[in-house]
């Protein structure tokens, strides 16, 4: 979580009113802190769970799942008959995700796919109610293009790190999205800006920015 995005007091308040963390999420948060592993954090996680409930989501696909943090929050918000597809290139992290889901008794709501999410999505028929894009930042547009044929009017597409994270520079993202030249921008910053321009310019998407965590671009398919 970057304080450049949300003041710490607001983060604290969000944590006070969001859905209660269970022991699995507490353990995941501790692991992320200990290992310096990037997750969306509990404030965004709680929001993901609420969005799943608001949309009555039954089918969710993640481009990049790590050890299952965001997927676990999603799974708390879907019906027991719902299904979420986790994808992860790191087999050990995917095994950890499966273990967390099994311990929580919700593994039957998930499919655990090892490999490149952009290849894996071709194995699934649509439509998906929610898609989370959180893979390599320079491949965000490629990820959305890969799943576009599996969306429907009302589908929600969420892109994490829309403001900052690691080697993503917030000011560079703003400048690039505005069409300015930034010669020394990182590939990650360029990838985020490319994605934001792409969804902004689509007539069939309505997009807004959620300033929580490190920023989430939220797009709804309108047609």
Q: Residue 19's pLDDT band (boundaries 50, 70, 90)?
A: confident
Q: For residue range 95-149, list pLDDT tens digits in order.
A: 999 999 999 999 999 999 999 999 999 999 989 999 999 999 999 999 999 999 9
- The full set of domain ranges for the chain reads 8-221
Q: Residue 206's pLDDT band (boundaries 50, 70, 90)?
A: very high
User: How far, rounded to the nearest angstrom, does the alpha carbon of residue 94 sit from its chain's CA centroid?
Assistant: 16
Considering the domain 8-221 in this protein, what is its CATH number? 3.40.50.150
Query: What integer pLDDT is reported at residue 153 of this predicted model?
Result: 97
Res. 1: pLDDT tops 50 = no
CA–CA separation, 87 and 120 (whole Å): 8
H/E stretch holding 189 reads helix 187-200
Q: For residue range 28-67, list pLDDT tens digits in order.
A: 999 999 999 989 989 899 999 999 999 999 999 999 999 9
Structure pTM? 0.93
pLDDT averaged over every residue in the chain: 93
The greatest distance separating any two alpha carbons of the chain, rounded to the nearest whole angstrom, comes to: 50
Instruction: Quickly count: other Cβ atoms within 10 Å of residue 28's Cβ.
Output: 25
Query: What integer pLDDT is reported at residue 3 of this predicted model?
Result: 53
């Amino acid at each position: 979580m970057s304080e450049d995005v949300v003041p710490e007091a607001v983060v604290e308040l969000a944590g006070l009113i969001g859905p209660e963390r269970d022991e699995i999420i507490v353990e995941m948060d501790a692991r992320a802190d200990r290992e310096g592993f990037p997750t969306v954090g509990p404030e965004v996680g709680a929001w993901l769970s609420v969005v799943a409930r608001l949309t009555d989501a039954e089918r969710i696909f993640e481009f990049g799942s790590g050890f299952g943090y965001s997927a676990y929050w999603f799974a708390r918000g879907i019906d027991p008959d719902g299904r979420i597809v986790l994808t992860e290139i790191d087999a050990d992290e995917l095994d950890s995700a499966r273990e967390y889901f099994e311990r929580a008794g919700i593994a039957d709501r998930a499919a655990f796919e090892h490999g490149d999410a952009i290849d894996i999505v071709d194995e699934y028929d649509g439509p998906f109610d929610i898609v989370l894009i959180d893979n390599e930042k320079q491949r965000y547009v490629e990820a959305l293009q890969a799943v576009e044929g599996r969306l429907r009017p009302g589908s929600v597409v969420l892109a994490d790190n829309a403001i900052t994270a690691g080697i993503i520079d917030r000011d560079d993202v703003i400048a690039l999205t505005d069409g300015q030249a930034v010669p020394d921008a990182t590939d990650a910053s360029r990838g985020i800006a490319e994605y934001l321009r792409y969804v902004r310019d689509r007539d069939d998407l309505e997009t807004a920015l959620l300033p929580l965590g490190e920023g989430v671009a939220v797009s709804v398919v309108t047609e």
